[in-house]
């Protein structure tokens, strides 16, 4: 609640809150006064129990859906704080941090790199997210960061396709780089990860190598 | 307005009123849960708002529609009965 500010990005939140408040006023009014169910009451209740709640629900849903893609949402589970902190560090040179500085998808950068792309990608990603919530509640909620760092891994190796949603691997200046052309087959077949120490480095160097001070 | 000239048939505070009150309480709880995730955008509030909150809101809506439908059904019967008496 502390970082809640009004702007065009949360117009939907405002709509949801206003609709819900008006609905609540009507409903509480009915509960308190208990007027006979005449045509006027019926209409008021139709607005208070149907029109406004549906408006509130739809806008809250869209807003909730958008919120789940933000880095702040990812970082609300403490085991993701090191990743997020590094991404927000203006001096960090990690891939995650470089991509967090982009105005277009910067605050959604975790999602931009970790979403499954393709048909049904969104659904698969959201289901995967549910799995993460479940694992967090059942296993990681109380885990110290030092232990989480050792235990948390991606379920499957990071697919280069995700990078290639934005970096096509066909641009002339990309192809002009000798390492790219030499490794292209292996990159396309996911035998070499773009984010590996021989190439562009880890996306999250904070969780790799020997433990360093935070 | 056509109906308000004929106030609703005065049924005792029956099941209809109780169902409506339940619908109102469900709506209030559902709305609160749906809005929670907006102020606290973390996994649990959003998840609960999208599931339990939605379910409560929807049941409240359905209960209201049931009351409305039953009520209008009764009214139609009364109107029909009134007509047959006059003729």
Specify if A97 maps to a domain.
yes
Q: How many residues does chain B have?
A: 87
Cα–Cα dist A20/B31, whole Å = 6
Specify if A10 maps to a domain.
yes
Specify if A169 maps to a domain.
no
Considering the domain architecture, whether residues A44 and A149 belong to the same structural domain is answered as no
Q: What is the pLDDT of residue B1?
A: 45
Q: What is the pLDDT of residue A211?
A: 59
Q: What is the pLDDT of residue A99?
A: 96
Residue of B nearest to A55 (CA): B31
Q: What pTM did the predictor assign? A: 0.83
Specify if A33 maps to a domain.
yes
Q: Would you state the structure tokens that stand for residue A23, as one six-digit string? A: 């609905």
Considering the domain architecture, whether residues A57 and A104 belong to the same structural domain is answered as no
Q: Is the pLDDT of residue B10 over 60?
A: no
Considering the domain architecture, whether residues A61 and A12 belong to the same structural domain is answered as yes
Interchain proximity A31–B60, CB inside 8 Å? no
Residues 28 to 57 of B: which have CB under 8 A from any A CB?
28, 30-32, 34-35, 37-44, 46-47, 49-50, 53-54, 57
Question: B5 touching A, CB under 8 A?
Answer: no
Computed over every residue of chain B, the mean pLDDT equals 83
Interchain proximity B21–A23, CB inside 8 Å? no
User: Taking the mean position of all CA atoms in its chain, how far away is CA B19?
Assistant: 7
Task: Report the number of distinct structural domains present in chain A.
Answer: 2
> Closest approach of chain A CAs to the CA of B86, in angstroms?
24
The helices-and-strands tally (H runs, E runs) of chain A is 12, 0
Considering the domain architecture, whether residues A99 and A22 belong to the same structural domain is answered as no
Considering the domain architecture, whether residues A55 and A91 belong to the same structural domain is answered as no
Specify if A115 maps to a domain.
yes
Computed over every residue of chain A, the mean pLDDT equals 88
Q: Is the pLDDT of residue B14 over 90?
A: no
Q: What is the pLDDT of residue A214?
A: 42
Range of the structural domain that residue A26 is part of: 6-67
Degrees (nearest 5) of the Cα angle B75, B78, B83? 125
Q: Is the pLDDT of residue B4 over 50?
A: no
The helices-and-strands tally (H runs, E runs) of chain B is 3, 0
Q: Quickly state the pLDDT bin for B3 (edges 50, 70, 90).
A: very low
Tokens 């039953």 sit at which residue? B70
Cα–Cα dist B31/A50, whole Å = 12
DSSP state of A212: -
The closest CB to that of B4, out of A1, A20, A38, belongs to: A38
Cα–Cα dist A46/A43, whole Å = 5
Specify if A177 maps to a domain.
no
Considering the domain architecture, whether residues A29 and A63 belong to the same structural domain is answered as yes
Considering the domain architecture, whether residues A139 and A202 belong to the same structural domain is answered as yes
Considering the domain architecture, whether residues A120 and A19 belong to the same structural domain is answered as no
Tokens 């609709």 sit at which residue? A19
Considering the domain architecture, whether residues A115 and A201 belong to the same structural domain is answered as yes
Degrees (nearest 5) of the Cα angle A51, A13, A87? 150
Q: What is the pLDDT of residue A94?
A: 94
User: Taking the mean position of all CA atoms in its chain, how far away is CA A40?
Assistant: 44
From A43, A67, A91, give the residue that closes a domain: A67
DSSP state of A169: S
Q: What is the pLDDT of residue A130?
A: 82
Sign of the C-alpha dihedral computed for residues A5, A6, A12 and A13 taken in this order: positive
Q: Contact, A13 vs A65, CB < 8 A?
A: no
Cα–Cα dist A2/B35, whole Å = 16
From A67, A86, A117, give the residue that closes a domain: A67
Specify if A188 maps to a domain.
no
**A62-115 pLDDT, tens digit each:** 998 888 899 999 999 999 999 999 999 999 999 999 999 999 999 999 999 998
Specify if A141 maps to a domain.
yes
Question: B25 touching A, CB under 8 A?
Answer: yes
Q: Quickly state the pLDDT bin for B29 (edges 50, 70, 90).
A: very high
Q: Which residues of B touch A133 (CB under 8 A)?
A: 43-44, 47
Degrees (nearest 5) of the Cα angle B12, B14, B15? 165
Q: What is the pLDDT of residue B5?
A: 43
Considering the domain architecture, whether residues A140 and A99 belong to the same structural domain is answered as yes
From A23, A48, A67, give the residue that closes a domain: A67
Q: Would you state the structure tokens that stand for residue A169, as one six-digit string? A: 């691997």
Q: Contact, B39 vs A3, CB < 8 A?
A: no
**Per-residue pLDDT averaged across B66-87, rounded?**
79
- For the beta carbon of residue A20, count every other beta carbon within 10 angstroms: 26
Q: What is the pLDDT of residue A161?
A: 92
Considering the domain architecture, whether residues A59 and A94 belong to the same structural domain is answered as no
Q: What is the pLDDT of residue A8?
A: 58
Q: What is the pLDDT of residue B13?
A: 60
Interchain proximity A53–B31, CB inside 8 Å? yes
Considering the domain architecture, whether residues A77 and A153 belong to the same structural domain is answered as yes
State the DSSP string of A102-165: -TTTGGGHHHHHHS--STTHHHHHHHHHHHHHHHIIIIITT--HHHHHHH---SSPPPHHHHHT
Q: Could you read off the pLDDT tens digit of each residue along chain A, which spans 214 residues?
A: 455 556 656 789 999 999 999 999 999 999 999 998 888 999 999 999 999 999 999 999 999 888 889 999 999 999 999 999 999 999 999 999 999 999 999 999 999 999 876 666 777 777 788 888 888 888 888 899 988 988 888 888 899 999 999 999 999 999 999 999 999 999 999 999 999 888 999 999 988 876 554 4
Name the 3-class secondary structure at A76: coil
């Amino acid at each position: 609640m502390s970082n809640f500010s009004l702007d065009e990005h949360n117009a939907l939140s405002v709509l949801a809150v206003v609709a819900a408040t008006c609905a609540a006023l009507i409903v509480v009014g009915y509960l308190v006064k208990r007027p006979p169910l005449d045509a006027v009451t019926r209409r008021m209740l139709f607005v208070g129990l149907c029109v406004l709640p549906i408006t509130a629900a739809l806008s809250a849903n869209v807003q909730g859906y958008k919120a789940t893609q933000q880095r702040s949402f990812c970082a609300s589970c403490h085991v993701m704080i090191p990743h997020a902190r590094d991404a927000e560090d203006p001096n960090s040179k990690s891939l995650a941090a470089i991509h967090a500085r982009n105005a277009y998808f910067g605050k959604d950068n975790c999602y931009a790199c970790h979403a499954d792309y393709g048909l049904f990608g969104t659904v698969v990603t959201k289901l995967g997210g549910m799995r993460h919530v479940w694992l967090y509640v059942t296993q990681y909620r109380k885990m110290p960061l030092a232990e989480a760092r050792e235990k948390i891994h991606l379920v499957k190796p990071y697919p280069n396709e995700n990078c290639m949603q934005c970096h096509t691997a066909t641009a002339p200046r990309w192809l002009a780089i000798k390492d790219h052309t030499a490794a292209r087959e292996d990159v396309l077949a996911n035998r070499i990860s773009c984010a590996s120490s021989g190439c562009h480095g880890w996306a999250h160097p904070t969780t790799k190598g020997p433990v360093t001070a935070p | 307005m056509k109906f308000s000239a004929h106030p609703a048939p005065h049924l005792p505070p029956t099941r209809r009123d109780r169902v409506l009150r339940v619908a109102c309480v469900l709506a209030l709880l559902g709305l609160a849960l749906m809005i929670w995730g907006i102020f606290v955008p973390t996994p649990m509030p959003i998840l609960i708002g999208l599931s339990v909150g939605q379910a409560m809101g929807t049941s409240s809506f359905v209960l209201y529609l049931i009351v409305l439908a039953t009520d209008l059904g009764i009214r139609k019967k009364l109107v029909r009965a009134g007509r047959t008496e006059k003729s």
